Amino acid sequence: MDSITVFAPATVANVACGFDIFGFAVDNPGDQITLTASPEPGVRIIDIIGDEGRLPREANRNTASIAIQTYLQHINRTDVGVDVVLRKKMPLGSGLGSSAASAVAGVFAINELLNRPLTVRQLIPFAMEGERIACGSAHADNVGPSLLGGFCVIRSYQPLDVIRVNTPASLYCTLVHPDIEVNTKDARFILKNEVSLKNTITQMGNVAGLIAGLMTPDYDLISRSLVDVIIEPVRSILIPEFNEVKQAALENGALGCSISGSGPSMFALCRDPQTAERVGAAMQQAFLSVGISSESYVSEINQQGPKVLTTAEVAS
């Protein structure tokens, strides 16, 4: 093939109690990338659609093209030429893993275009390099689930150890993105470097409970475990009406509700699609009560990771 278009899913990192170690993928939203083979070696950004001109077009500054470049260097194929068109289908700086989705779409697409020299799991480090550009450190809690699908645990970074955990057949995610912006670096900067042993113990209990709840499955246990005593109390001050929005989600039947990634988006997990829709409407209403508009997305947990939308042979 000469051309390929790939979708990669948005992701919810942290998932309340699992700061830097938990993340899951959703079916909606996500990014699209189109790669077209070119006789001229190198990676070029031809166009980015949907970012209102905010993302860098230089190939060595863009998260998707850097991921592709790093991959091509690793497999010794810097002779390959590829033109990139990126369609941002989700808000930037939203806490929905926007940069990870672009990087994942990029490496997944180039690996397909070259007939899969590497397995999907082997692509994680190259997508992480894209993340390093976007947020200053190479995190895997968005990249992992965006690439592998499902709910992932980043058990360790050195060496990298990403585990995929089964989730209940019926589990829905509501995402609400308020039209405000939180910088990922700021959101990390305000965190304290020390945690009390007491809070560490509480958080570990919820981490264990959430994994056991997802794998059993046990919805009540999932619900009791979606509690974050370390990060949420600090970061939630960056999100206006956080407590009211969370309360609205819980009162409308969500299993739990917290910050998606570093925010400002918020996620809720629900047992069924009707509840997820109702929860989304209630969360949007709570934001609107202080004049903040928002977008809401409802989907199942994405189990597949990226998918090929179209391929084409270009007549020579």
Q: Does 200 bind a second copy (CB under 8 A)?
A: yes
Q: For a second copy, which residue of 190, 215, 288, 312 counts as binding (CB under 8 A)?
A: 215
Residue closer to a second copy by CB (options 175, 231) is: 231
Is the Cβ–Cβ distance between 74 and 84 less than 8 Å? Answer: no
The answer to whether residue 184 is catalytic is yes
Is residue 94 part of an annotated ligand binding site? yes
Q: Which of residues 114-173 bind a second copy (CB under 8 A)?
A: 153-156, 161, 163, 165
Is the Cβ–Cβ distance between 86 and 47 less than 8 Å? Answer: yes
Q: Does 184 bind a second copy (CB under 8 A)?
A: no
Q: How far apart are the C-alpha atoms of 225 and 208, rounded to whole Å? A: 8
Residue closer to a second copy by CB (options 54, 198) is: 198
Q: For a second copy, which residue of 221, 250, 281, 292 counts as binding (CB under 8 A)?
A: 221
Is residue 305 part of an annotated ligand binding site? no
Token look-up 């109390």 returns: 233
Taking only Cα atoms into account, the Rg of the chain, rounded to an integer number of angstroms, comes to 19
Q: Does 224 bind a second copy (CB under 8 A)?
A: yes
Which is the catalytic residue, given 5, 129, 131, 232?
A: 131
Residue closer to a second copy by CB (options 105, 124) is: 124
Smallest distance, Å, CB 155 to a second copy? Answer: 4
Q: Where are the beta strands (DSSP E) in 246-306?
A: 256-259, 266-270, 294-300
Token look-up 């001109």 returns: 53
- Going by their DSSP bridges, the two strands 151-157 and 22-38 should be labelled as antiparallel
Q: Does 204 bind a second copy (CB under 8 A)?
A: yes
Smallest distance, Å, CB 255 to a second copy? Answer: 15
Which is the catalytic residue, given 11, 70, 167, 184?
A: 184
Q: Does 261 bind a second copy (CB under 8 A)?
A: no
Is the Cβ–Cβ distance between 58 and 66 less than 8 Å? Answer: no
Q: Does 234 bind a second copy (CB under 8 A)?
A: no
Q: Which of residues 265-304 bind a second copy (CB under 8 A)?
A: none
Q: Does 259 bind a second copy (CB under 8 A)?
A: no
Count how many Cα atoms sit within 13 Å of the Cα of residue 2 in the half-sphere of its side chain: 7
Chain centroid, CA 248 distance in Å: 24
The answer to whether residue 181 is catalytic is no
Angle, CA of 240, 49 and 52, to the nearest 5°: 45
Both tokens assigned to 177:
């993105």
- DSSP state for residue 307 in the 8-state scheme: E
Residue closer to a second copy by CB (options 153, 279) is: 153
Token look-up 């940069």 returns: 99
Smallest distance, Å, CB 206 to a second copy? Answer: 7
Q: Does 19 bind a second copy (CB under 8 A)?
A: yes
Residue closer to a second copy by CB (options 143, 176) is: 143
Is the Cβ–Cβ distance between 135 and 184 less than 8 Å? Answer: yes
Q: Letter for the amino acid at 179?
A: D
Token look-up 């089964």 returns: 166
For the beta carbon of residue 122, count every other beta carbon within 10 angstroms: 16
**Which residues carry a binding-site annotation?**
91-101
Question: Known catalytic residues?
Answer: 131, 184
Q: Which residues bind a second copy (CB under 8 A)?
A: 17-22, 153-156, 161, 163, 165, 191-198, 200-212, 215-216, 221, 224-225, 230
Q: Which residues are annotated as a binding site for ATP?
A: 91-101
